[in-house]
Amino acid sequence: MPIFPRKPKYTIVKVAKKRDIPDDLWTRCEECSELIYNKKLDEALRVCPKCSFHFTLGARERINLLIDEGSFVEMDADMETLDPLNLRKR
Ligand SMILES: [Zn+2]
2 domain residue, yes or no: no
56 domain residue, yes or no: yes
- 33 Cα to the center of ligand 1, angstroms: 6
11 domain residue, yes or no: no
85 domain residue, yes or no: no
31 domain residue, yes or no: yes
CA separation for the pair 82, 75 (Å, rounded): 17
- Residues 12-65 pLDDT 10s: 766 655 565 566 899 999 999 999 999 999 899 899 999 999 999 998 888 988
Name the residue type at position 26. W
72 domain residue, yes or no: no
- 24 Cα to the center of ligand 1, angstroms: 17
- 22 Cα to the center of ligand 1, angstroms: 21
Eight-class DSSP state of 34: -
- The domain tally of the chain equals 1
29 — phi, psi (to 5°)? -65, 135
pTM above 0.85, yes or no: no
Give residue 31's domain range: 23-66
- 36 Cα to the center of ligand 1, angstroms: 9
41 domain residue, yes or no: yes
CA separation for the pair 74, 54 (Å, rounded): 26
